[in-house]
């Protein structure tokens, strides 16, 4: 890189900004899923009467929360894929 060439510096700043955005996204998704997961465990351990409320037949609130964890995990994965596509587009446009 020549001293007068600013494209490398601009690309480095763009890369660092995109990497920071990626870290924020990962931290947010991890915290959201961890709160959901541990919230389910806490509810099952300390709020058993709430989890035992029947919704339909033998299906209770605890079962619905446990099954909804798979849906929530799928939503987290979908958000990750969508955001990574945008990140890939930005990374491929950098002149590195």
Question: How high is the pLDDT of residue 4?
Answer: 54
**Local confidence band at 96 (pLDDT 50, 70, 90 cut-offs):** low
Q: Decide: pTM greater than 0.95.
A: no
pLDDT band at 6 (very low <50, low <70, confident <90, very high): low
**Tens-digit pLDDT profile for residues 16-50:** 888 899 999 999 999 999 999 999 999 999 999 99
Show the DSSP H helices in 1-96 as ranges. 7-46, 48-51, 61-93
Give, to the nearest 10 degrees, the angle between helix 7-46 and helix 61-93.
180
The Cα 71–Cα 69 span in angstroms is 5
């Amino acid at each position: 890189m020549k001293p007068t060439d600013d494209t490398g510096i601009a690309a480095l700043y763009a890369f660092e900004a995109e990497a920071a955005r990626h870290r924020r996204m990962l931290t947010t998704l991890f915290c959201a899923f961890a709160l959901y997961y541990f919230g389910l465990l806490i509810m099952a351990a300390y709020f058993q009467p709430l989890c035992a409320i029947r919704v339909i037949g033998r299906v209770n609130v605890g079962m619905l929360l446990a099954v909804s964890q798979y849906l929530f995990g799928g939503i987290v994965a979908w958000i990750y894929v969508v955001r990574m596509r945008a990140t890939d587009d930005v990374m491929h446009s950098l002149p590195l």
